[in-house]
């Protein structure tokens, strides 16, 4: 079943790159007591994700925070090393937290997987964005396959 507005974020574990290597991040703790703009991409360093999706959130980080967002996070079914390198290359360091969902546990639990086998990518996360307030989804935007409109930083800003 796909997660919906009003649902609690599933209890899973992400990983994020730190100076000391990958660090485990509990979804319960990450989303607790604050407002998070979370977006998901099919893969780090892929064309639309690198040219539009992540750069849009880096560019609009201050505007999102002015509208009450405490943290902006990007997730993908990639490992913490790849997500860390992608974040650095995109200048996301102090603007977007890169959360690796290496085994796809989060997107599976949220019911937001996609089949990327025809691209040699296996099971990945769909392109989506959401606002999460204290662990509860208050806005959810899931893209149709091949689209990039609803999950953008601009669209999320309009919803706040």
Give catalytic status of residue 49 as yes or no.
Answer: yes
Q: How far apart are the C-alpha atoms of 105 and 51, rounded to whole Å? A: 26
Distance of CA 25 to the CA centre of its chain: 14
Helix (H, G, I), strand (E, B) or coil at 86: helix
Helix (H, G, I), strand (E, B) or coil at 113: strand
Closest CA to 76 of 135, 144, 17: 17
Closest CA to 72 of 109, 111, 98: 98
Length, in residues, of the chain: 160
CB 125 within 8 A of CB 41: yes
Selecting among 37, 49, 83, 131, the annotated active-site residue is 49
Helix (H, G, I), strand (E, B) or coil at 144: coil
Residue 31, φ and ψ in degrees, nearest 5: -95, -5
Task: State the catalytic residues.
Answer: 49
């Amino acid at each position: 079943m796909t997660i919906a507005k009003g649902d609690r974020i599933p209890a899973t574990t992400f990983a994020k790159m730190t100076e000391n290597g990958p660090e485990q991040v509990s979804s319960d703790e990450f989303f607790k007591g604050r407002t998070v703009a979370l977006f998901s991409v099919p893969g780090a360093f892929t064309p639309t994700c690198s040219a539009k999706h992540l750069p849009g959130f880096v560019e609009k980080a201050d505007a999102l925070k002015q509208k009450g967002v405490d943290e902006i996070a990007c997730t993908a079914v990639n490992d913490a090393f790849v997500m860390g390198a992608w974040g650095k290359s995109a200048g996301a360091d102090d603007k977007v937290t890169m959360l690796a969902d290496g085994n796809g546990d989060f997107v599976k639990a949220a019911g937001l997987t996609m089949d990327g086998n025809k691209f040699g990518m296996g099971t990945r996360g769909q392109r989506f964005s959401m606002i999460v307030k204290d662990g509860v989804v208050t806005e959810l935007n899931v893209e149709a396959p091949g689209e990039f409109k609803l999950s953008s930083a601009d669209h999320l800003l309009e919803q706040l």
